[in-house]
Amino acid sequence: MENDDICHLSAVELREHYRRRELSPVAVTEAILARIERLNPALTAFVTVTPELAIEQARQAERAYAAGGSPGRLAGIPISIKDLTPTKGIRTTRGSLLDPDWEPDFDAPFVERVYAAGAVMLGKTNTPELGWKGETSNRLVGSTQNPWRHGRTAGGSSGGAAAAVAAGLGPLAQGGDGAGSIRIPAGFCGIVGLKPSFGLVPNYPPSATGDLSHPGPMTRTVRDAALLLDVVAGADVRDRLSWSSGVDHLTAIEGGVSGLRVAWSPDLGYAPVEPAVRELTTVAARRFADLGCAVEEANPGLPDPWPIVDAIWASAQAGFHLERGDLDAVRDRLDPGRLEVIERARHLTGAEVAAARIRREAYYQAMCGFMERFDLLLTPTLPLTAFAAGADQPGQVAGVPTDYLSWTPFTYPFNLTGQPACSVPCGFGPDGLPVGGLQIVGRWRDDATVLRAAAAFEAIAPWAHHRPDLD
C-alpha cells in the first residue's frame, strides 16, 4: 500500500490492519509524520509536532499488538490535539503572543483518555487567539490554509485540526466548539465534526465561555467519530457538569434510521444562505426520505439568538483579561479583532449579561418544545463556502452584512441548548470547495441517534474517497 493511501485510512481501518498484522503502527506513524513534514509548511495545520513522542507511543502499540493481548481502543492510531487544550510538557500556545511558550504540567481529561487508549500523539493544531473566531489565523504562526484551495480559510477555531484531517495528517483530531468551532472547520474542509451533548466529554480546565464550550471529535468518517467519542466520553470529577451516558456509540450507530421523524430547515427562519449551499443541502436533506425517514420542512419559529451569544461570548473574552488584570499591559499583543470584541464587551453591565442568560434559558425551553415533534433537525452547517484565509469573517452572506460570529447562524444555537450536533460532508459547490456541510441535530443528550443518522447518510452519500490535491 502506498504511503499516501496509508495516510488516508480511517482509524477503524487501521485497527483492523494492525490486528491482522498487515500494517505496523510505527510504519503508519512514520508515514504520517513524513507527510506532515512535507505539507505542513504550506498548510500551517500544526503549530507543534511531537515526532519523538509519536514514535515511542507507536512502538508501545506495536508491542501491545504483538503480545496478542488486548490493545487499547486507539492503540497505534495517530491523533492531534488542538493548541488550546493543555498537554503536559508539550508547548501549548493557545494561538496567542501572551504565553507562547507555555508548557502545562498536566493533561486535559481528553488527552489523558486518548493516551490511556493507546493513541499516538502527533502534535498540536493551530487555532486563533484563545479560539475567539470562526477562522484560524493568529499573530504567532499565521493562517491555516484550506487543503482544498490555498488562500481560503479552513474555518475555526479548530481550523488546524480540520485541515490536518482533510489533508491526511492523521485520522483523528480533537476540537473544541464554543459557537461552532468544530462544525465550522469541518464544513469548510469536508470532514466530520461532532459537537457532543454538553458535558458528555469533560472540559478541564473550564473554558472562559463556560457551558457554551464542548470538546469533541473531528474525523474523516462517522465511525471514527463514534470510536473517539467512546474513548473520551464520561464524567470526570474535575468538571462538575460532566456526565456519563453508558452508551457504546460505535455499536449504537448500526441499524439505520427508518421511521424517524426529521425536520429540515434551510434557514431556521432567519438566516441568509448562499443559493448553492441551500440547493445542495436541500438535496442532501431529502436523502433522508430515501433512508425511510418522514421528512418535513419546518422551522422552530424562534428568533436569531445571536444577541444572546454575542453578550455571553464577548463578555467571556473580556472576563479573561479582567481576571488576569492585564488588558492595558498586553493590548498591543492581542489580535486586533479580538481586542475590538473585548472593548465592546467592557460596556456591557452584569445585568445585561444576566438578562442574556435568562433569554438563553427561554430559547432552550422553546427548542426542546420544537424537538418534541421530531427525532432530528437538519440544517446547513454553514451558509457559504470558505472565504479568504486571514479574514476574521466573510463580511457578508447573500448580501447581508455579518459580525465576528454572526455569519455562523446554524451552529451557535446548539451551543446555547447543549444539543448534540454533527456536520457531515454533502458535496462541492460551483467553486469546487466543500459546501459547508449538512448539520444533523439531535434531541437533548441523544448523541447515539445523531451518529446513527450520520452513518446512514454516509452509507448512501459517501465522501471519504474525496481527497484534496496537495501533490
**Range in 11-20, 59-68, 238-247 with the lowest mean pLDDT:** 59-68
With cut-offs at 50, 70 and 90, classify the pLDDT of residue 471.
confident
3 pLDDT tier (thresholds 50, 70, 90)? confident
Residue 257 within any structural domain of the chain: yes
At 260, is the pLDDT very low, low, confident or very high (cuts 50, 70, 90)?
A: very high
Measured distance CA(327)–CA(316) in Å, rounded: 13
Cell numbers that stand for 344 in this block: 465592546
Residues 195/157/466/427 CA torsion (nearest 10 deg):
70
Whether 453 contacts 379, CB under 8 Å: no
Per-residue confidence at 2, pLDDT binned at 50, 70, 90?
confident
Q: What is the pLDDT of residues 8-51, one digit of tens each?
A: 999 999 999 999 999 999 999 999 999 999 999 999 999 999 99
Classify residue 352 by burial, with Cβ atoms within 10 Å: 0-12, 13-18, 19+.
Answer: exposed
Residue 288 placed within a domain: yes
Whether the pLDDT of residue 254 is over 90: the answer is: yes
- The reply to whether 244 belongs to the active site is no
Q: For residue 165, is pLDDT > 80? A: yes
The pLDDT tens digits of the residues spanning 176-229 come to 999 999 999 999 999 999 999 999 999 999 998 989 999 999 999 999 999 999
The mean pLDDT value for 365-391 works out to 98
H or E element that contains 150: strand 149-153
The catalytically annotated residue of 10, 137, 143, 157 is 157
> Does residue 469 form part of some domain?
no
- Whether cis (ω within 30° of 0) applies to the bond prior to 265 is no
Among this protein's residues, is 157 annotated catalytic?
A: yes
Burial class (CB in 10 A: 0-12, 13-18, 19+), 276: middle
Q: 253-272 as b/e, with b when 16 or more CB fall inside 10 Å?
A: beeebeebebbbbbbbeebb
Asked whether residue 207 is domain-assigned, the answer is yes
pLDDT at 173 over 80: yes
Give the mean model confidence (pLDDT) for residues 382-406: 97
| Residues belonging to the chain | 471
205 preceded by a cis bond (ω within 30 of 0): yes
pLDDT cut 70: percent of the chain above it: 100
Q: What is the model's pLDDT at position 116?
A: 98
Question: Which domain range does residue 435 map to?
Answer: 3-460
- Between helices 11-19 and 51-66, what is the axis angle to 10°? 50
In this prediction, residue 63 carries a pLDDT of 95
Specify the pLDDT at position 319.
93
pLDDT of residue 68: 75
Q: How far is CA 31 from the centre of its chain?
A: 25
User: Does the pLDDT of residue 296 top 90, yes or no?
Assistant: yes
User: Is the Cβ–Cβ distance between 79 and 170 less than 8 Å?
Assistant: yes
pLDDT digits (tens, 9 = 90+) for 318-338: 999 988 999 999 999 999 999
Q: What is the grid cell recorded at 402?
A: 455579518
Structural domain contains residue 470: no
Q: Which of 61-70, 90-99, 279-288, 346-355 has the lowest mean pLDDT?
A: 61-70
CATH number for the domain that contains residue 423? 3.90.1300.10
Checking if the pLDDT of 88 tops 80, the result is yes
CA distances for 19 relative to 25, 60, 74, 401, angstroms: 10, 14, 12, 53
Q: How far is CA 254 from CA 222, 234, 459, in A?
A: 11, 21, 11
Mean residue pLDDT of the chain comes to 97
The residues, any chain, with a CB within 8 Å of residue 365's CB and separated by 6 or more, are none
Spell out the alpha helix ranges (H) of 172-305: 183-189, 222-232, 249-252, 275-290
Asked whether the CA dihedral 406, 389, 129, 331 is positive or negative, the reply is: negative
The pLDDT confidence band at residue 1, using thresholds 50, 70 and 90, is confident
**Rounded distance, CA 222 to CA 460, Å?**
13
CA dihedral sign, ordered 425, 427, 432, 437: negative
Answer for the pair 344, 242: CB distance below 8 angstroms, yes or no. Answer: no
How far is Cα 451 from Cα 189, in angstroms, rounded to an integer? 19
What proportion of the chain, given as a percentage, has pLDDT over 90? 96
Q: What is the model's pLDDT at position 450?
A: 98
Kindly state whether residue 467 falls inside one of the protein's structural domains. Answer: no
Residue 465 within any structural domain of the chain: no
> Above 90 in pLDDT, residue 245?
yes
pLDDT (average), residues 259-288: 98
- Domain count along the chain: 1
Catalytic hit among 10, 82, 133, 137:
82
Q: Which of 10, 80, 158, 181 is catalytic?
A: 181
Mean pLDDT of 123-147: 98
Task: Say whether 80 is catalytic.
Answer: no
- Cβ atoms of 259 and 271 closer than 8 Å: no
Q: Is the pLDDT of residue 69 over 80?
A: no
Instruction: Examine residue 74 and state whether it is found in any structural domain, yes or no.
Output: yes
